[in-house]
Amino acid sequence: MAESIRLEVVTPEKSVVSESAQIVMAPGSMGEFGVLTGHTPFLSTLKTGALKYKDESGRERFVFVSSGFAEALPDRVTVLAESAERRKDIDVQRAKSAAERAEKRIQSGGKDVDYIRAKTALFRAISRIQLAETR
């Protein structure tokens, strides 16, 4: 087995993931990238989406991240995100109601609707639901 790399996912509220991984796949804003141990120092912003990694036993795990950036160093990857949660911790009900609210806001078509905000909220909710429902 290859050497493992340290993965840390932190949000302003708490640390979500802190463990060793074999490989980390992160949704970079200019394309997804994978990090193995010995990666050159690298810094990228992240899209809203799923971060994948294989833990030490080789199981694939998923973490939802939004509004974040990642720093890769030869021995570790640090992800700073405004919100992040493991797949099993995603609150699907909440995401669904958030998606509905955002949709309503977009459809209402009022002048004071912040479209960009509503759209990102919708996208965030949909990504959460998608990730929670993939098996």
Residue pointed to by tokens 């030490």? 56
Output 71 or 103, the one with its CB closest to another protein: 71
- CA neighbours closer than 13 Å in the CB half-sphere of residue 111: 0
What are the angstrom distances between the C-alpha of 67 and each of 54, 74, 79, 100, 127?
Answer: 22, 24, 10, 21, 13
Output 84 or 131, the one with its CB closest to another protein: 84
User: Could you list the residues that contact another protein (CB under 8 A)?
Assistant: 8, 10-15, 28-30, 40-45, 67, 69, 71, 73-74, 78, 80, 82-83
Min separation Cβ 49 and another protein, Å: 16
Output 94 or 133, the one with its CB closest to another protein: 94
